Amino acid sequence: MTRRGASLVRPPAGEGQSKGRGGVHRHSFWTISLLLICGVRVQSQSEDPGLFGEAAWISSTAVNAASPSFSGPPSDDYADVGSGESGKGGGAGATSSAYGPLIPGAGTVCQRHRYLPPRAYEMLADSHTRQLGLYSPGDRSRLLAALQRYAEGGNLTIAVAGGSVAAGQGAVDAPAFPYWIERILRDQLPGAEVLPAEDPDPALDPSGQGQGLAEGEHGGDSGADSGTRRLAARSTKDSRWRVVVNNGGVPGTTSQYMSSCHNVHVPQRADVVILEYAINDGQVAYPVMNNEVRRAYERLIRKLLRYPRRPAVVLFHTFRWFWSLSEQGRFYSGADREHAEFGSYYHLPQLSVKACCYHLMLQGRPGFQVHRPRAAPGGKRYREPGVDEQLKGKVWFYDVAHPDGNTGHRVMGELAAQLILDAHAMVAAGHRLSAAEAARVEAPLPPPMLESNLESAADRCFVGPSLTKALLDAQGFEWVNEGKNPKLPKWGYVASQPGAVLRLKLATATSAGTEEERGMNVSMQLGFLHSYEHMGRAAVSCEDGCACDPWVLDGHTEVRNSQTLLSAFPVTQASECVVRVEVLQNTSSGGHKVKLTGLMVSDDPYATGFTNTNGFYNWLTEATGTDGVVDARAGRRRQLAALLAAEREEEEEGRVEEGRVEEGLQAGLRGGAAGKDAGPGWGLA
């Protein structure tokens, strides 16, 4: 049993109703299908509210003991709130009726299905809007496999990779869409939260699986109900979540960067990967499709499809309304049309902001309005009296490029969550992967859509803890965490004596391109600490299979600021390339400290080095978690920790200054009292 979803109790009268006009509930396709397939009996009980108004509740019993022993919510309208007032159970389906399955024998697929009323989350977008947001369902085999693993007790890990929208820009006073996904799924999926194994309540299954309404020691409606009340009342600080979202979005980057560095942004355990690059990848006029940006996007898709758990890769086509004063609301802006070609070729599920919401934007529907963003072009909210209050919760965009966390980000989260909840509804209804579906999950990838665009199988990006995977040998360098907070590490190879040598090995050869292109140089980048105290210089060179021009790294800066930077240099392609770094005797600071934090190489000879715009690499290293995978939450935690430390420092300085003023006042008063005949006190003068 778990806190949400697994107890399957009928609500007390008058609580948790989800009604449409006249008290009649609206239901999704999956809900109605589930009722028909499972042979549901609807019983009229005026004192017991349920799905069809205040007069009904749903139960079913099947003969197949091998079917799921838990129940899950239907995917769609259990979070919708209708506009009508609550009725008295009237309307279709409120009277006593019995339904048989549409397909003979289909009633055996369900063991027991009883659904809770709406939970804490209420959808902002209605069911029709969410349905329109499904641009293409693609092949659901991988998605169903992920939800089947979840139903059998496994975790559900959702990874998000993208640009500034994915990273959360615009989500200033409400969550970014990856965290809306997490919140909705944790609220709606049964068994999302698991309590400690030592929990004394026998109604709770430590594995996270529901034990069935009448199977536990507390069996029956009253037992499950009381178990739920106990569970809701207790602290969840020691519980863990089976639904986890890892946000690997990086502001200001395209799919070119992610194609090289996916391994430090997308955890290997991912079950679902959502890509958001329709804005950042932009429109490339010529050559159509077969250009460096689109080629990188396809290689990224292929790499992710080969991850260990064969994740479902979902393309999320975001949308930008404001491009310039003269160009607003252009429907065909962005890269989504060409990205959709890859989605069709690889049969990937696709979600689209334009498909769901463009016409609502034109109509000026609250929550979707685009007459102006909340923030001025500089990114700060309008400060005129009452302006922000009028815009918050009504406009889609926070600034000219990014959706608002209260509206745009939230609806995007709902679209993605809906896709997953619909797949879960099928699994909850008894669907199990067929042999054909299982074969499609494990099938080899088709040839690349773009000619000679094969993906590299080797990791090409080593940042933070993953840098240790590239180590060949170290003499005088040590692997050191210089972070003050153990949850916010700052790992790197550090040396402080001249003559220290570090050798790192990785593959620089690419699989993509023609034979001539595979003979071209690629761009390698070395990450290092750039600071104002005790920093030294190091000679960088290449050996054992690859070649590059030697150069000198200088970690010293006169500016009183510490940042991790990237320095790019061309290198020849090789299956094994060794980069050698040696600390030099000469120094511009008097010190010899050298700290290396990352090494990466492009997988396309035409790709340029990743820039340090807006402290990109510094942010990247700070957002790397303890497991070596970048998560925007880690970066945000570090930012908050820095802000808190600054506030504490200011408070301390304020207390010191306050003490000094008090001392001056006291001294002045003493001086004035002692020398009132000789003039004013020194402390007050």
Kindly state whether residues 255 and 109 are assigned to the same domain: no
Give pLDDT, residue 570. Answer: 92
Chain segment 76-113, per-residue pLDDT in tens:
333 333 333 333 333 333 322 222 222 233 223 333 33
Q: Looking at 119, 151, 175, which one is the last position of a domain?
A: 119
The CA-CA-CA angle for residues 58, 63, 66, to 5°, reads 105
Give pLDDT, residue 545. Answer: 86
Give pLDDT, residue 571. Answer: 94
CATH assignment at residue 168: 3.40.50.1110
> What letter does residue 118 receive in the DSSP assignment?
-
Kindly state whether residues 648 and 512 are assigned to the same domain: no
Residues 6+ apart with CB under 8 A from 126: 80
Chain segment 357-390, per-residue pLDDT in tens:
999 999 999 999 999 899 876 666 666 667 888 9
pTM: 0.69
Give pLDDT, residue 80. Answer: 35
Kindly state whether residues 87 and 136 are assigned to the same domain: no
Give pLDDT, residue 456. Answer: 84
CATH assignment at residue 570: 2.60.120.260
Q: With a cut of 70, list the residues of the chain below it in pLDDT.
A: 1-119, 196-238, 285, 324-326, 377-385, 487-488, 512-514, 606-619, 625-628, 634-685
Kindly state whether residues 428 and 569 are assigned to the same domain: no
Dihedral sign computed on CA atoms, order 322, 325, 329, 333: negative
Give pLDDT, residue 60. Answer: 28
φ and ψ of 671, to 5 deg: -65, -40
Give pLDDT, residue 334. Answer: 83
Q: How far apart are CA 160 and CA 417, in angstroms?
A: 13
Q: In the chain, how many domains are there?
A: 4
Tokens standing for 676? 């009132």
Determine contact, residues 26/77, Cβ cutoff 8 Å. Answer: yes
Q: How far apart are CA 358 and CA 334, in angstroms?
A: 14
Radius of gyration in angstroms for the set of CA atoms belonging to the chain, rounded to a whole number:
30
Give pLDDT, residue 248. Answer: 92
* HSE, side-chain direction, 13 A CA sphere, residue 118: 22
3-state secondary structure 631-642: CHHHHHHHHHHH
Kindly state whether residues 347 and 466 are assigned to the same domain: no
Instruction: Flag whether 176 is in a domain.
Output: yes
| 160 strand-pairing partners | 247, 274
Q: How far apart are CA 294 and CA 510, in angstroms?
A: 16
Kindly state whether residues 298 and 330 are assigned to the same domain: yes
Q: Looking at 410, 442, 474, which one is the last position of a domain?
A: 442
Domain interval for residue 104: 1-119
